Amino acid sequence: MQCTNPSEAIKIEKQIKGWSQRKKEALIDENWNDLIEFSKNYTEYEHPDKRE
């Protein structure tokens, strides 16, 4: 992802800073399925660690 606007880049960086380590690693590895899975709301969906 490339940002041409510095304000936009800072906004995205602050958002990513709040992510879990697993979610950041999925982004770095371009593992889009895991990134989506780790982004789900766990009150609506069961936590992935508790799934079979």
Residue 43, Cα to own-chain centre: how many angstroms? Answer: 17
Quick check: 22 and 34 in contact, CB under 8 A? yes
Judged against a pLDDT cut of 70, whether residue 37 lies above it is answered with: yes
Query: What pLDDT is stored for residue 38 in this prediction?
Result: 86
Is 1 inside a domain boundary? no
Is 10 inside a domain boundary? yes
pTM as predicted: 0.64
In the chain, helix, strand, coil percent, each to 5? 60, 0, 40
Higher pLDDT, 31 or 2: 31
Please give the helix or strand (H or E) that residue 25 lies within, else none: helix 21-28
Is 23 inside a domain boundary? yes
- Three-state SS for 14? helix
Q: Considering its fold, how many domains does the chain have in total?
A: 1
